[in-house]
């Protein structure tokens, strides 16, 4: 007879392998196309693919973006229009996502983002976290998300108080 | 005399290079340590580094996590306690982040996440976006974030209606 174990008592299962993790930025429709352009201009994003929403309603004049995959550095971020549809993954726009963007060029990156339409928030400061462990500036994008623009973190040994 | 151009008219500047993009999950303090354990159990996250908040208040009994870097697949996600401090990058917990997790093992991944404490939302369905273009299930983590667990997307040619 097979022995069934409860989750809590079970031995550690062999882990499921994940091939990718992509944060998904959902903006109010039909702003996704603008948002993609913004991320290209602000952060040098490269558009890898775009899938449009099939037109389902006669009154839906502007084609909506079901998902656009953007490559920023080595990471992928997905941008979508918020779609009022049972199949939509989420029911409200993502407006308070926080992202850490690492670069050796903090000031030029901040300028580039602000020129593209982001809002600078506060001054450049000295970070002390594992993500933003060097100099860090902050911008808010036009869709309500926060981008921390940081020099790469110091090694842990340098962080000790 | 140097010619100054407005942003709109300026030629495309050479793009600033970004070395990493890391979504940052900020949870209500002092839950970050639990959240890290949850992401390890649910998604097989590997903890790359952790920086604790320097103890600044006598009444702060539990050491807070300034940032923990987690590797999931090839991506890095940062988890922090929400810290009531001028230097804190954000002023409220991130509760509605959306992430796409790609895996060939959708059902085992969903089971693993639910066993770890995530809440399943809806049934497995057939996605049609560039992110979740195959079979997709959805869980909410205990901190309010949504994880779409998807088989890798089909090629664009297969998506055409």
- pLDDT for position B63: 87
Name the one residue in this structure whose structure tokens are 């100054």: B4
Give the predicted TM-score (pTM) of the model: 0.84
- pLDDT for position B1: 37
With beta carbons less than 8 A apart as the criterion, state whether A49 and B129 touch: no
- Domain co-membership, B76 together with B122: no
Where chain B has pLDDT below 70, the residues are 1-14, 55-60, 87, 154-161
CA separation for the pair A34, A142 (Å, rounded): 10
Q: Which residues of B touch A148 (CB under 8 A)?
A: 24, 89
| Residue A111 φ/ψ, nearest 5 degrees | -60, -45
3-state secondary structure of B78: strand
Q: Strand ranges (DSSP E) for A9-159?
A: 20-27, 46-52, 65-72, 75-81, 98-102, 119-120, 125-126, 135-140, 146-150
- Domain co-membership, A76 together with A103: no
Q: Would residue A45 count as lying in a domain?
A: yes
CA distance B1 to chain A (A): 23
For residue A128 the two structure tokens come to 């002390």
- pLDDT for position A156: 45
| Of B80, B76, B68, B97, the residue nearest B30 (C-alpha) | B80
Taking residues A72-100, report their average pLDDT. Answer: 85
Q: Which residues of A touch B77 (CB under 8 A)?
A: 21
- Domain co-membership, B77 together with B103: no
Q: Would residue A5 count as lying in a domain?
A: no
- Domain co-membership, A48 together with A81: yes
**The last residue of a domain, from among A52, A67, A85:** A85
Of all residues in chain A, the percent with pLDDT exceeding 70 is 81
Number of domains forming the structure of chain B: 2
Q: Does any CB of chain A come closer than 8 Å to the CB of residue B115?
A: yes
**The last residue of a domain, from among B66, B85, B104:** B85
Binary contact (B148, A24; C-beta < 8 A): yes
| Of B125, B139, B133, the residue nearest A86 (C-alpha) | B125
Binary contact (B102, A54; C-beta < 8 A): no
Binary contact (B73, A21; C-beta < 8 A): yes
- pLDDT for position A31: 94
- Domain co-membership, B105 together with B48: no
Chain A residue with Cα closest to B40: A15
**The last residue of a domain, from among B85, B107, B137:** B85
With beta carbons less than 8 A apart as the criterion, state whether A98 and B24 touch: yes
CATH value at residue B36: 3.10.180.10
With beta carbons less than 8 A apart as the criterion, state whether B22 and B78 touch: yes
- pLDDT for position B23: 94
ipTM score assigned to the predicted complex: 0.82
Of the candidates B69, B99, B161, the beta carbon closest to that of A22 is on: B99
Taking residues A69-73, report their average pLDDT. Answer: 94
Selected residue with higher pLDDT from A22 and A12: A22
- pLDDT for position B11: 42
- Domain co-membership, A67 together with A108: no
Of A51-65, A71-85, B87-101, which has the strongest mean pLDDT?
A71-85
């Amino acid at each position: 007879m097979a022995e069934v174990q409860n989750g809590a008592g079970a031995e550690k299962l062999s882990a499921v392998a994940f091939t990718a993790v992509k944060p998904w930025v959902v903006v109010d429709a039909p702003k996704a196309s603008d948002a993609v352009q913004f991320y290209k201009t602000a952060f040098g994003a490269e558009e890898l693919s775009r899938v449009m929403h099939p037109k389902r309603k006669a009154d839906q004049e502007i084609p909506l973006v079901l998902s656009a995959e953007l490559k920023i550095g080595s990471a992928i971020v997905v941008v979508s229009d918020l779609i009022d549809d049972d199949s939509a993954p989420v029911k409200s726009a993502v407006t308070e996502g926080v992202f850490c963007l690492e670069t050796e060029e903090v000031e030029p990156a901040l300028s580039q983002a602000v020129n593209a339409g982001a809002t600078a928030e506060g001054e450049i400061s000295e970070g002390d976290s594992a993500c933003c462990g060097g100099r860090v500036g902050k911008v808010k994008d036009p869709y309500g998300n926060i981008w921390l623009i940081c020099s790469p973190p110091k090694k842990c040994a340098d962080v000790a108080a």
